[in-house]
Amino acid sequence: MAPEDADQGISQRIFYIHVPIALTAYFCFGLGAWKALRLLWLGEERYDLESYVAIHQGTIFGALTLLTGSIWAKASWSVWWTWSSRQLVLFLVLFLFYCAYFMLRFSIEEGPRRARSSAVYALFGVVLIPISFLAIRLASDFVHPVVFNLDGPQMSGTMFVTFCVSWAAVTSLAYVLYRIELLGKRIDVGLRELREALQ
Amino acid sequence: MSYAADVAALARKDLKVELRTRDTLPAMLLFVLATLVVFHFALPTNAADDAAYGLLWVAIVFTALVGLTRAWVPEHEHGVLDGLVLAPCDRSAIWLGKTLATLAFVAAAQVVALPAFALFFAPLGAPAIAGVLLADVGICAVGSLLAAMAAATRSREVLLPLLLLPLAIPLVVGGVGSAVSSEPSRYLLFLGLYDAVFAVLSWASFEYVVTE
């Protein structure tokens, strides 16, 4: 059982869910961009669906990051939203970006052009993450708690273990959801092809 | 033909089309002037200059959007893009030619907009103007790729702002920073970094967006 934070009390415990969700969202966006790169590089169609599903999961986890971050901000600073929390602002920018990804994807006819345009936009997203991070750093003052810095994690042993366990749990959850959605989408495609073949 | 000659020919084509039809530049000029007048009424009378610099950047981004929305319309209306894609030149030259032509339109609109801003609101220093120029490069580089992407979709006019605005946020940060900060060099450096990264990415990925 992780000890209670001396400074923030019980509200600090949302850290164990907020940060793993945020890291998983980054991981999903990165995976989506990697699959997009593979699609452009190798031209294999299956990467399109894999990239889309990874970004879909990333966007869901990104929305959850905004939600849990907002709850944490309410508990710690008694406001639902603060522009001085850089990670939250970054997630808002990324959330807008990836919502535009879906708009783009759903307004192009299905086919290789849609796959390639989506892939290019997904690659832009993964480059936008560090650039936006730098931009928000340049733009704002700092009050978000710094838990990880260059000297390593600033928490006690049991807190770190708890954090790692919940990180592993959230990553596994994201992976399972990714596989399930991918399977569902593939069955959809297979079914549609079968129906077209029968008509 | 060499790569540079291809790019020059493509950019010249766009400038010629604009000279004959006058579809884009007058619209951008009128838009940016109207926006500045709207801002005068949107700002409280005792607002600080810093607020005006922020609004200038809103005007710059939206004016560039007006130009970019029109950027690929001639190509799509007359099926020119298919011809360009089939032409024996590197596809990235098409992107570079379009970026240079759009940059020329945006810069021309700013030749009017920046003095108008200085006249109506607040003076602009050399770092602020350098910030505008650097941000123009970034917005045109990314914008002409995204506009090509959006032009192939069902909802092209609506889609382009949605695609571009999240990517333009770092440019606005850099631009406003270079105008209001006491040490603008880091913001200008950041804008240069943005331009370099996204120009290379757009240049490398354009081919995938236009080929069938």
Q: Report which of residues A128 and A153 the model is more confident about.
A: A128
φ, ψ (nearest 5 deg) of residue A152:
100, 180
d(CA A152, CA A147): 9
Residue A63 tokens read as 């929305």
Rounded to an integer, the average pLDDT of A106-119 is: 92
What is the pLDDT confidence band of residue A143, given thresholds at 50, 70 and 90? very low
Instruction: Tell me chain A's radius of gyration from C-alpha atoms.
Output: 19
Q: Does B109 touch chain A (CB under 8 A)?
A: no
Whether the CB-CB separation of A94 and B165 falls below 8 Å is answered with: no
Rounded (5°) CA angle A3-A4-A7: 135
A40 touches chain B (CB under 8 A): yes
Residue of B154, B170, B208 lying closest to A116 (CB–CB):
B208
pLDDT in tens, B140-163: 999 999 999 998 888 878 999 999
Entry pTM: 0.90
Non-local CB neighbours of B190 within 8 Å, separated by 6+ positions: A134, A135, A138, B170, B173, B174, B177
Report the gap between the CA of B89 and the closest CA in chain A (Å).
20
- CB-based contact B87:B7 (threshold 8 Å): no
SS (H, E, C) B14-52: HHHHHHHHCCCHHHHHHHHHHHHHHHHHHCCCCCCHHHH
* A67 in contact with B, Cβ within 8 Å: no
- pLDDT computed for residue B73 by the predictor: 85
Q: How far apart are CA B159 and CA B174, in angstroms?
A: 24
R_g of chain B computed on alpha carbons: 17
Q: Strand runs (DSSP E) across chain A, as ranges? A: 148-149, 152-153
Q: What is the pLDDT of residue A139?
A: 81
Say what the pLDDT of residue A39 is: 95
Chain A from 89 to 118: CB within 8 A of any B CB: 93-94, 96-97, 99-100, 103-104, 107-108, 112-113, 116-117
Model confidence at B164: pLDDT above 90: yes
Residue A85: predicted pLDDT: 79
| pLDDT of amino acid A141 | 44
Quickly count: other Cβ atoms within 10 Å of residue B165's Cβ: 17
Note whether B88 contacts A: Cβ–Cβ < 8 A: no
DSSP string, A39-66: HHHH--THHHHHHHHHHHHHHHHHHHHH
At residue A186, the pLDDT reads 93
- pLDDT tens by residue, B59-68: 999 999 999 9
Beta bridge partners of A148: A153
Instruction: Give the mean pLDDT of A41-64.
Output: 94
pLDDT of A47 above 90: yes
Mean pLDDT of the residues in chain B: 91
Whole-number Cα distances in Å, B205 to A7, A41, A124, A149, B145: 49, 11, 10, 35, 8
Predicted confidence (pLDDT) per residue in B69-87, tens digit: 988 888 888 888 888 888 8
pLDDT given for residue B61 in this prediction:
96
The amino acid present at B195, given as its one-letter code, is: D
What pLDDT, on the 0 to 100 scale, is given for residue A68? Answer: 93
pLDDT band at A1 (very low <50, low <70, confident <90, very high): low
Q: Which residues contact A13 (CB under 8 A, 6 or more apart)?
A: A2, A4, A5
Using an 8 Å CB-CB cutoff, list chain B residues near A128: 166-167, 170
**pLDDT score at B32:** 94
DSSP state of A9: B
Q: Between vectors from CA A69 to CA A65 and to CA A70, what angle results, nearest 5°?
A: 120
Residue with tokens 């000279």: B19
Q: Quick one: pLDDT band at residue A142, thresholds 50, 70, 90? A: very low
Nearest to B186 among A93, A100, A138 (CB): A138
- What integer pLDDT is reported at residue A158 of this predicted model? 83
